[in-house]
Structure 1
Amino acid sequence: MTNLNLAEQLKFDLHMHSTASDGALSPAELVEQAAENSIRCLALTDHDTLAGLKEAQIAADRLGIRFIPGVELTCLWNKRTLHLLGLGIDPDYEGWRDYESRLQVLREKRAEVIATKLRAKRAPEDILERARKFAGCGQIGRPHFAKALVEAGFVSSENEAFDRYLGQGKTGDVKAEWPEVSESIAIVQESGGFAILAHPTKYNMTFSRLRLLLSSLSEAGMDGFEVAYPGISQDYIRLMLKQAEALDLKVSSGSDFHNPAHHWTGLGRFPKVDSPRHLIHQFYTDMPLRA
């Protein structure tokens, strides 16, 4: 295991998004900006798609950056929506094709329902077409509807769009029949990756409920969880590290970067955690730079 000092820890980011899903930068632009921010190891983890991985890998190879193929899968635990990171996956694993296609259908059906609900709130009739335009070739999601609502003059900002129409519990917060988390864990691991629960404190759970979630997912075979990301407090980080010890799980960190215009996060910006359980040690050891 590689022991990283703090200076080295500053040079990785294991959670970020590109235009392949709901990010603002193309995969290549994302890697280039990461390089400008002195990040030397990164994972691209777009929502429910591997479409950006090849482009990002090429850019990373050109810039001398360790690249970790990843994905962020939407899934269900006890009918509650969760996000599961797959880190270090093999994008060529044959099972991904059918799994991605299934998620694409679910996202399209969900987008149609969101559009119907927004139109019922007097949003423009072409709100779905506007959202698809912003999604481009990527997976369509609520951030694209937020942009569409701003473009249509229905709201003044994307934040307002989420606060009034798209945020948790609002009209556009449409649930879908996502795969069960056990299935998501399985495909990540079958493709050679680590199954990591994304931002565990952002599911609006009490800490007792969160401990139950982590224990349940550990029993289901999950490899670990994110312990450091924007918005988590140092007190919670300490509590989460104790849970990792108790359940013998790995931990990860990342910015969940989407857009340079979002000031609450930035590439490589998240609390620093020094733990032998951190996946970055394994990635530095097992994934050497490609020529």
Structure 2
Amino acid sequence: MMGEGNRDKSKKKKKRGGAKRRMTVEQTSALKSVNEWVYLAQHADEQEKIKEDDFLPEIMRIARVSENIVFELHSHTICSDGFLSPSALVEKAHQNGVKVLALTDHDTMSGIPEALQAAGRFGIKIIPGVEISSVFSTTRDESEAEEPVHILAYYSSCGPARFEELDQFLANIRDGRYLRAKNMLAKLAKLKKPVKWERVIKIAGNGVAPGRLHVARALLEAGHVEDLKQAFDRYLHDGGPAYSKGSEPSAEEAVQMVCKTGGIAVLAHPWALKNPSPVVNRLKEAGLHGIEVYRSDGRLAVYSDLADAHGLLKLGGSDYHGRGGRSESPLGSVSLPVLAARDFLKVARPIWCDAIRNILEQCIKDPSEPNLKHITRFGTRRINTCNCEKDLINSCLRSWLTREEMQHADFQATMLKLSDVAVN
């Protein structure tokens, strides 16, 4: 319990802080546009109610504007190297006040459907994402040096366009993880720190490609290290005595793949790179849209300046894994400014809209069951109803596209053609 003296100090501190800073006209406008996108599904539901009952009070017709929309754009689950299930991650996000959650597991999107099911219960908007493992090659004194680089990809409600191509791209990376983990274990054995392969696979979980964290946990269980940090510091860090490369693509290829499949490509944690400037230079040419600049401890000026110099989006997230401890930032702890969120959506929405239309067009060309399912692969919980395909598609799209976007002549023409094909 706080003592009297402390209470007085607290009151004085609040007084010195002054009144809450008023938002600028630009911030107010940005907040309005971000709100509209975040609550698209609720707005659509309200519009349906208005149509059904013209006598609703006027106050019910005015959308409420939230001044605190928390974006969490970097998180992981047990589908890669996190400690929580996708549904548990969503519940945690809800508890922490997150309104928009990007699930960005390493080299897999397998957790997205479960996350979406859970998100429906909490009113959270899910951005289907993935963190792609890649390498950046530099030439120094006629010798080539490689450095791990991670690319975050953010997609629309329909997921990636050309899904099978991206899925195979990610599968190749995951396959390389198995060989990489075995090489790490072989190196650990030579260092007299043996770890059983069966244990690493069990820690990773069914169908999950093993990563360094799984090897680190096995090292800890075997008593070779005191904690996970020590496992990385002594053996598994980049270039460490037990480090091994997988079959990762080049960073340029990863960015190009994200762009080709209708995603937003963002460089993850540039502060982990030895020299981020040449990486950003080359990746910008490949199509990079942004870099992480914001962390729980605030904006990092040097990376903000780097983003400005290349005309890139400035984003950020907690990189939450759910492992606990003081070293991990809480889920939703990054304060992404409303102007940064507005800029992100301004760049992303036209790209997502084109990707959605491309997916729909593919279904028109080939109205096979897999292509029809692709439209609602990453849809909302409504896709479990027994409605016809048209209802499923509409429910999926209206949570992502504005009325103006859906009523655009090109989009309407596509929907009309799809209706003739998909709905009897």
* TM-score past 0.5 threshold: yes
Distance across 1 between alignment mates of 2:293 and 2:179: 33
Q: Does 1:16 align with 2:83?
A: no
- 1:83 pairs with 150, 160, 181, which one? 150
- 2:52: which partner in 1? none
Write the deviation string for residues 80-119 of structure 1: whole angstroms up to 9, x where unpaired. Answer: 2100000125257221231122112110110110110111
Which SS does the other structure have where 1:114 is aligned?
helix
Q: CA deviation at 1:203?
A: 1.2
Distance across 2 between alignment mates of 1:125 and 1:182: 35
| 1:129 partner amino acid | E
- 2:15: which partner in 1? none
Write the deviation string for residues 59-100 of structure 1: whole angstroms up to 9, x where unpaired. Answer: 112221110000000112213210000012525722123112
Distance across 1 between alignment mates of 2:399 and 2:347: 13
Identify which of structures 1 and 2 has the higher relative contact order when contacts are C-alpha pairs closer than 8 Å and 6+ apart: 1
Q: Is the 8 A contact 2:81 2:204 kept in 1?
A: yes
Q: Which segment drifts farther, 276-285 or 176-185?
A: 276-285
Q: CA deviation at 1:50?
A: 1.1
Once the two structures are superposed, the pairs formed by residues 178-257 of structure 1 within 5 Å of their partners are 178-205=248-275, 210-230=276-296, 234=299, 237-257=300-320
- 1:4 pairs with 25, 31, 38, which one? 31
Which SS does the other structure have where 1:113 is aligned?
helix
Q: Is the 8 A contact 1:22 1:139 kept in 2?
A: no
Q: How many residues align?
A: 282
- 2:225: which partner in 1? 155
Q: Which segment drifts farther, 180-189 or 237-246?
A: 237-246
Which SS does the other structure have where 2:248 is aligned?
coil
TM-score scaled by length of structure 2: 0.61
Which SS does the other structure have where 2:30 is aligned?
coil
RMSD: 2.6
Q: Which has the larger radius of gyration?
A: 2
- 2:166: which partner in 1? 96
Q: CA deviation at 1:54?
A: 1.1
Q: CA deviation at 1:46?
A: 0.4
Distance across 1 between alignment mates of 2:173 and 2:81: 15
- 1:279 pairs with 322, 344, 347, which one? 344
Q: Does 1:51 align with 2:110?
A: yes
Which SS does the other structure have where 1:145 is aligned?
helix
1:192–1:9: structure 2 CA closer, same or farther, 3 Å change rule? Answer: farther
- 1:131: which partner in 2? 200
Q: Is the 8 A contact 2:72 2:318 kept in 1?
A: yes
- 2:190: which partner in 1? 120
- 2:329: which partner in 1? 265
Q: Which segment drifts farther, 63-72 or 89-98?
A: 89-98
Q: Is the 8 A contact 2:187 2:242 kept in 1?
A: yes
Q: Which segment drifts farther, 255-264 or 20-29?
A: 255-264
Q: CA deviation at 1:191?
A: 2.0
Identify unmatched segments of 5+ residues in structure 2. 1-25, 33-65, 138-145, 353-396, 401-424
1:9–1:74: structure 2 CA closer, same or farther, 3 Å change rule? Answer: farther
Which SS does the other structure have where 1:4 is aligned?
helix
- 1:168: which partner in 2? 238
1:176–1:63: structure 2 CA closer, same or farther, 3 Å change rule? Answer: same
Determine what percentage of the aligned residue pairs are the same residue: 35
- 1:60 pairs with 119, 123, 128, which one? 119
Which SS does the other structure have where 2:98 is aligned?
coil
Q: Does 1:146 align with 2:209?
A: no
Which SS does the other structure have where 1:30 is aligned?
helix
Q: Which segment drifts farther, 159-168 or 30-39?
A: 159-168
Q: Which has the higher helix share?
A: 2
| 1:211 partner amino acid | S
- 1:72: which partner in 2? 131
TM-score scaled by length of structure 1: 0.87
Distance across 2 between alignment mates of 1:230 and 1:159: 20
Distance across 2 between alignment mates of 1:143 and 1:181: 22
Distance across 2 between alignment mates of 1:244 and 1:261: 31
Distance across 1 between alignment mates of 2:231 and 2:69: 34
Q: Is the 8 A contact 1:18 1:30 kept in 2?
A: yes
Q: Does 1:28 align with 2:87?
A: yes
| 1:143 partner amino acid | L
| 1:117 partner amino acid | K
| 1:135 partner amino acid | A
Which SS does the other structure have where 1:82 is aligned?
strand
Distance across 1 between alignment mates of 2:304 and 2:68: 17
Distance across 2 between alignment mates of 1:257 and 1:284: 25
Q: CA deviation at 1:18?
A: 0.3
Identify unmatched segments of 5+ residues in structure 1. none
1:217–1:91: structure 2 CA closer, same or farther, 3 Å change rule? Answer: closer
